[in-house]
Amino acid sequence: MMANHEFRDLWARATGGDVTMAKAAIFAALLHAPTQRRRSADRTVLAFMAVTIAGLAAATGIALALAAAKPKPPPNVLHYQIGNTALTAPREWLRAPIAHAGRIERLELIIDWPRNLAVPQEDNAANSRLLDRSVLISVGAADPLSAPIERLNRVYSRFIDAKAEPGPAGLIAYSFKAGSRYDNERLLVTSEGFTTTNGEAFFARCPQKAGTQKNSPTDLCTTTLHIGMLDAVVRFSPSRLSEWPHLADGVTRIVSTLIHGQTRLPQ
């Protein structure tokens, strides 16, 4: 076995006698080895970060695409066709919203009148305050064989008592005969010299005794107005009978506004 001093002599001859240089070479080799490992680790981290960023970008793109594909909110204005008449109605005025615009038979509206506002959605149709301040309008094609005034002369006149009583704002009140189809109602008609702005007579059927079915739509007065090629069936609180000239004119302007495609009601 080689002695220690012999090994040192052999090592010195192999390194030219410079032991310090040999040690420096060994330390340099050891120093460079972990550097290579760190570079390999850095490359791995960079590759992982690149894959992560690419994945996030792809996920963001998918999320944006899904957001763009969401259905658009419903339009505020809907376009309808009743008979040969085109109408444009704000969605918030619809009493019974129709899923799709297009050709329909009737358009049901509820309007906070005379402020010409949509009725708040949280109100209940059976709420007395709602019925007191609102007007219900049902718009349909005009009956070519029976104009509203003809209905008054040919139908209602057959069922009323001859005795008349004075009513509000120039109206005359007639009671319907007991047992007729309009029992428990009365008919109010404009007296001579009183007409709507269109020159037509105004008439309305109202409950004989207001409050018999309190807070119900059946406790309302009903009239029909002929507007263009449409008939508007209007229901309103009996407390507004004294406003009938303003009411008839206001409803006529409202429906005319819808026909002409305006989205704002005339004041």
Q: Determine, yes or no, domain membership for 265.
A: no
* Phi, psi angles (nearest 5°) of residue 207: -60, 140
In this structure, the answer to whether residues 98 and 160 fall within a common structural domain is yes
User: With 50 as the cut, is the pLDDT of residue 10 above it?
Assistant: no
Residue 255 has what pLDDT? 94
Percent of the chain with pLDDT over 70: 56
Predicted confidence band of residue 219 (pLDDT cuts 50, 70, 90): confident
Q: Determine, yes or no, domain membership for 182.
A: yes
Kindly state the average pLDDT of the residues 73-86.
84
In this structure, the answer to whether residues 133 and 232 fall within a common structural domain is yes
In this structure, the answer to whether residues 86 and 27 fall within a common structural domain is no
Segment among 75-79, 197-201, 205-209 with least mean pLDDT: 197-201
Segment among 38-52, 76-90, 123-137 with least mean pLDDT: 38-52
User: With 50 as the cut, is the pLDDT of residue 162 above it?
Assistant: yes
Kindly state the average pLDDT of the residues 226-250.
93
68, 88, 117 - which closes a domain = 68
Q: Determine, yes or no, domain membership for 29.
A: yes
In this structure, the answer to whether residues 64 and 96 fall within a common structural domain is no
Higher pLDDT, 100 or 106: 106
Q: How high is the mean pLDDT of the chain? A: 75
Buried b (16+ CB within 10 A) or exposed e, 108-124: bbbbbbeebeebeeeee
46, 68, 90 - which closes a domain = 68
Helices (DSSP H) in 104-242: which residue ranges? 128-133, 148-154
Residue 7 has what pLDDT? 46
CB of 237 within 8 A of CB of 228?
Answer: no
In this structure, the answer to whether residues 25 and 88 fall within a common structural domain is no
Q: What is the pLDDT of residues 140-156, one digit of tens each?
A: 999 877 778 788 888 88
Residue 27 has what pLDDT? 47
Higher pLDDT, 77 or 206: 206
- DSSP string computed for 45-74: HHHHHHHHHHHHHHHHHHHHHHHHTSPPPP
d(Cα 173, Cα 162) in Å, to the nearest integer? 10
Tell me how many domains the chain contains: 2
Range of the domain at 31: 4-68
> Hey, CA dihedral for 81, 86, 92, 93, is it positive or negative?
negative
In this structure, the answer to whether residues 163 and 253 fall within a common structural domain is yes
Q: What is the pLDDT of residues 101-136, one digit of tens each?
A: 789 999 999 998 776 555 555 444 445 556 677 899
Residue 125 has what pLDDT? 46
Give this prediction's pTM. Answer: 0.66
Residue 266 has what pLDDT? 46
In this structure, the answer to whether residues 111 and 226 fall within a common structural domain is yes
Kindly state the average pLDDT of the residues 55-84.
67
Q: Determine, yes or no, domain membership for 267.
A: no
Residue 59 has what pLDDT? 59
CB of 125 within 8 A of CB of 217?
Answer: yes
d(Cα 30, Cα 34) in Å, to the nearest integer? 7
Give the pair of three-digit tokens for residue 181.
Answer: 């189809």
Residue 92 has what pLDDT? 86
68, 91, 123 - which closes a domain = 68
- DSSP string computed for 143-170: -TT--HHHHHHHTGGGTEEEEEEE-GGG
Residue 166 has what pLDDT? 93
Predicted confidence band of residue 76 (pLDDT cuts 50, 70, 90): confident
In this structure, the answer to whether residues 139 and 12 fall within a common structural domain is no
Q: Determine, yes or no, domain membership for 264.
A: no
Q: How far is CA 49 from CA 37, 45, 61, 62, 237, in A?
A: 19, 6, 18, 20, 72
Residues 6+ apart with CB under 8 A from 228: 85, 142, 255, 256, 259
Higher pLDDT, 195 or 123: 195
> Hey, CA dihedral for 18, 21, 26, 27, is it positive or negative?
positive
